[in-house]
Chains A and B, each alone.
Chain A
Amino acid sequence: MAATEFETADASRAGGWGGVLAAALLLPGLHATVQAETAPEQAEIAVKVLSYRDRQPGFNRIKVTAPSVYLMVPVAGRWSVEGSLVSDSVSGASPRYHSAVSGASRLDEERTAGDVRVTRYNDRDAWSIGAAYSTEHDYRSRTISADYRRSSEDNNTTWNIGAAFGDDWIGSSNDPTLSRGRNTTQLIAGVTQAWTANDLVQLNVGASWGHGMYSDPYKFPDRRPDRREQYTVMARWNHHFSDWKATLRSSWRYYSDSFGVRANTLETAWVQPLSGGWTLTPMLRYTTQRAAKFYYDPVYDPALGAPFPPGYTATSPQYLSGDQRLSAFGAITAGLKVAYEFAPRWTADFSLEHYEQRAGWRLGGSGSPGLDRFQADWLQIGLSHKF
């Protein structure tokens, strides 16, 4: 990386002609094909199967198998319609608090989800509207969204804004009388800049405001505020190495919410096309997170015992949760994706990701004590065809 940058810098110091390209892009009516808003020309269909399992030492928790199908069709040159369907089957033990197994509470779930999106492409801009639906026997989610993006005259800058509104229903197989709702409004805005011919940088900010039930009906005791504000800032940088024909993707994401969770995530991936239609993409991600204000460690009331925190009474007004996703931890994900274009317009891909979460991996402070490490694996195989 350094070598390329230094070479470029040397060339410009010696009077390189990089300014010629930049000046040419200012000329009227020369649509550079880079990054312009272009409608897709070919339809695409993709079929994928995702397999997920997570576990803690001595305890296999959840297995998910999720086949999905995706279809995108260009319409009348300026439009595209895309949609996907996924069906999950989840099986395993349902954790009720911290890491402990709650007897033999088995979990067998089916989830069906689908979404559809319509996009209109103009020369300089594109907008899209979409809807998504997801249902399982104790949960239903409906979302509508709209996005707009616009490119500058020289196509070097793209701005995007988007809004989404979600309406969820929460039930429980443990409590047939439970029927609660949750509404979420989400706004995002971002800018993408082609910095040089080989560098693309992007900044996105997002905010979401929700009210309704956030408590987990399968965890007890678990009482969370009924309002949640979430904010994210995400910066990405993609650098293309011409000599290697490879791309380094890097990103940093900051997350903050009104529960008190603060998280930083760094991710990097190397996209390496090889001869014969193969592409290898190794990936590494690190997250460090501060616990929610009302997360309690697995230290229990001496009289009541687990899972009750010390001093717990049924009428305690304060919020509390033992959900380890709200704890303080560090986590590393390592992954590899292999894609193979085995015939023109046919691609097969295979990806594997391993996730490991440990309290001790938190940066800048010890993580929540007393939690076992948590591991998860994703394996996905897919086949896609353009026609």
Chain B
Amino acid sequence: MAYDKFTTLTSTAVPMPIENVDTDQIIPARFLKATKREGFGDNLFRDWRYNSDDTPKADFVLNNPIYKGKILVGGKNFGSGSSREHAAWAVYDYGFRCVVSSFFADIFKNNCLNIGVLPVQISPEFANEIFEAIYADANTELEINLEAQTITLLSSGTQESFVINNYKKGNMLNGFDDIDYLQNMKREIETFTESRPF
């Protein structure tokens, strides 16, 4: 088993309705110097979260104690930019298990799936409803059901289904990753290699 199993998650959520949040904001490049996967959560959104003297920026959502939970709700095109998996690690290490957005950048989404953070893509209208509900009451909860592929705003009962391919869904439900799968294809891969022209 490569990572935590994901079945259902009911949690309050942290709202971040900013569009085009890039991976340099999620984890700035100067924090990519580790050779082990440890402590990236401390620097999640570092430059939005802290002043240059390391004091917290009071107006940033992660520094507002009323917003907490295992779900991050981001704006459109979340995770654009670099392929650094460190961005997904930082999200995970901080304590998020699910990121919700009306649109994800490709590589970030893939990286999340590969480490057991569930990206849930919803309609822009539902995203707005969620933001409004959280701003009205920070204790508002979302329920994510991976088996049923649904996300529900519990205060209103509004529900949407989300897309995930059957293979990845199985991985997330069971905590398997791609290497577990590929290891069982060794012979097939070796035969394929022999046919490569270069």
Whether chains A and B associate is: no
